[in-house]
Structure 1
């Protein structure tokens, strides 16, 4: 099959590494709805595609 592909669904620690931010910040962004997520039992999962779209839609000049 060849190359390694990124997973379609990310856990909180995956999002943390992907964005280079702290774990509490990931949870806050999920709680605020900035990062779209789903809950499966106790696990939180984030679609990599939805995360990328959410990041693209953010205004880089907003504070």
Structure 2
């Protein structure tokens, strides 16, 4: 779902969208606890929800 939203937004706005926390997490520059802290900072937004979901998925997969 997020990929479709990002694709539509990029196409309509002509800009690229990046989730810096996700990039840092995937590259092991930050761990799950830092990702959750960042999600907490944005807890009232869809972005915070996305970061929490990313952390949950990594917990479920044993990362």
Q: TM-score, normalised by structure 1?
A: 0.29
> Which is richer in helix?
2
Q: TM-score, normalised by structure 2?
A: 0.29
> Which is richer in strand?
1
Kindly indicate whether structure 1 or structure 2 has the higher relative contact order, using CA contacts under 8 Å at least 6 residues apart.
1
